[in-house]
């Protein structure tokens, strides 16, 4: 085994153990030093992965995050130079100031950009454009459901919540398909879900935050477009139209936070609709403040009867979702 790995294992066995991040309302972290922003991320060499993150004002390396993970605290000795006991840790940057390489002892790890670059939304390429997918989706029939369902009662979220903002990405080109699939920038939920969301919003408002909605009710035909436009691992982040989405039932919402005082959107560990590991609610990367905000949103929402999806920190399903049928009404029909 390489010298670096041997040293790390010995030191960790003697001095450290990994502790999961625990949310605390009263322990809001201070922002991470800007000088580290560019080097935060994932680095790999062969089958070894390292996540570089900020935690409690220190730079940390999470070794083997998908297995028996270990948390290493790095001591800064000079810009982009750190140490872990007698092991030198040095970062190299590209022309944009982003970390490109990490050298630990005699081992070199290369940066992998699982995140979108330059502030762009995550993108999926549609080989033949939207038109054929839209035609196929509009001509398709939603799955037949059995059982007794409640009568749908979709409510415009903006008519109930105070301080709510909308950024309905699918009504714009700023989304993973780069085309608009919604005819209107609207947000609807079933009434019980809206009332529960309102309670969560009140709590967040008291803490200085407002809710920013990216998506709520989604017609079934749009779910089919998303499925047909993606393939492989990308489909882990979209619903199979054969079973439908909880968005189709008006019982799911995609949202984030913004600061009431400044109006600025709160930065989370990953970006909305990002099809990468950073979207998992328990992803360990990023900064302490980003993880704290992500966990704050989850804590408040789940206390009001919502549950976060396992691979999307922004997506919450209301507990009553099974009581409603799959819907395929366009937004224009809901306004009538």
272-321 pLDDT, tens digit each: 999 899 999 999 999 999 999 999 999 999 999 999 999 999 999 999 99
pLDDT band at residue 67, thresholds of 50, 70 and 90? confident
pLDDT of residue 171: 96
Determine the topology of domain 131-334 in CATH: Muramoyl-pentapeptide Carboxypeptidase; domain 2 (3.30.1380)
Rounded to whole angstroms, the Cα distance separating 298 from 157 reads: 19
Q: Is the pLDDT of residue 16 over 50?
A: no
Rounded to whole angstroms, the Cα distance separating 157 from 213 reads: 9
What is the tens place of the pLDDT at every residue in 22-49? 558 888 999 999 999 999 999 999 999 9
Q: Is the pLDDT of residue 13 over 70?
A: no
Mean pLDDT of all residues in 41-69: 94
Provide CB contacts within 8 A for 139, sequence distance 6+: none
Of the two residues 299 and 334, the one the predictor is more confident about is 299
Of the two residues 13 and 332, the one the predictor is more confident about is 332
Contact 113, 94 (CB under 8 A): no
The CA-atom distances, in angstroms, between 50 and each of 6, 63, 72, 101 are 16, 5, 10, 11
For the CA atoms of 137, 141, 147, 148, the dihedral, rounded to the nearest 10 degrees, stands at: 80
Of 97, 98, 76, whose CA–CA distance to 88 is shortest?
Answer: 76
The CA-atom distances, in angstroms, between 336 and each of 159, 165, 180, 329, 331 are 16, 23, 22, 11, 9
Please report, for the chain, the start and end positions of each structural domain, with discontinuous segments joined by +: 3-112, 131-334
Of 306, 297, 234, whose CA–CA distance to 266 is shortest?
Answer: 297
Q: Report the chain's mean pLDDT, rounded to a whole number.
A: 91
pTM of the predicted protein model: 0.91
**Considering the domain 3-112, what is its CATH architecture?**
Beta Barrel (2.40)
pLDDT of residue 18: 39
Contact 224, 188 (CB under 8 A): no
């Amino acid at each position: 085994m390489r010298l670096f790995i041997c040293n790390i294992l010995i030191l960790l066995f003697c001095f450290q153990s990994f502790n999961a991040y625990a949310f605390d309302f009263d322990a809001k972290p201070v922002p991470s030093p800007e000088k580290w922003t560019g080097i935060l991320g994932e680095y790999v060499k062969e089958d070894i992965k390292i996540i570089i993150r900020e935690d409690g004002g220190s730079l940390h390396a999470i070794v083997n995050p998908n297995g028996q993970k270990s948390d290493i605290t790095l001591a800064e000795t000079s810009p982009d130079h750190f140490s872990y006991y007698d092991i030198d840790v040095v970062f190299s940057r590209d022309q944009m100031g982003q970390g490109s390489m990490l050298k630990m002892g005699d081992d070199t790890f290369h940066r992998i950009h699982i995140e979108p670059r330059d502030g762009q939304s995550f993108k999926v390429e549609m080989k033949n454009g939207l038109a054929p997918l839209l035609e196929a989706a509009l001509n398709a029939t939603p799955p037949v459901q059995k059982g007794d369902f409640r009568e749908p009662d979709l409510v415009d979220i903006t008519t109930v919540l105070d301080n709510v903002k909308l950024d309905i990405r699918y009504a714009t080109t700023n989304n993973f398909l780069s085309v608009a699939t919604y005819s209107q920038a609207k947000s609807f939920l079933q009434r019980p879900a809206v009332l529960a969301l309102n309670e969560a919003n009140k709590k967040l408002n008291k803490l200085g935050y407002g809710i920013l909605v990216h998506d709520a009710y989604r017609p079934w035909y749009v779910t089919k477009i998303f499925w047909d436009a993606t393939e492989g691992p990308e489909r882990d982040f979209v619903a199979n139209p054969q079973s439908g989405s909880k968005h189709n039932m008006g019982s799911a919402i995609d949202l984030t936070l913004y600061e009431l005082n400044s109006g600025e959107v709160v930065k989370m560990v990953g970006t909305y609709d990002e099809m990468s590991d950073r979207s998992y609610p328990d992803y360990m990367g990023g900064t302490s403040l980003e993880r704290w905000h992500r966990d704050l949103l989850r804590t408040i929402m789940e206390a009001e009867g919502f549950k976060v999806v396992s691979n999307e920190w922004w997506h919450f399903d209301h507990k009553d979702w099974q009581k409603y049928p799959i819907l395929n009404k366009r937004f224009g029909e809901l306004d009538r």
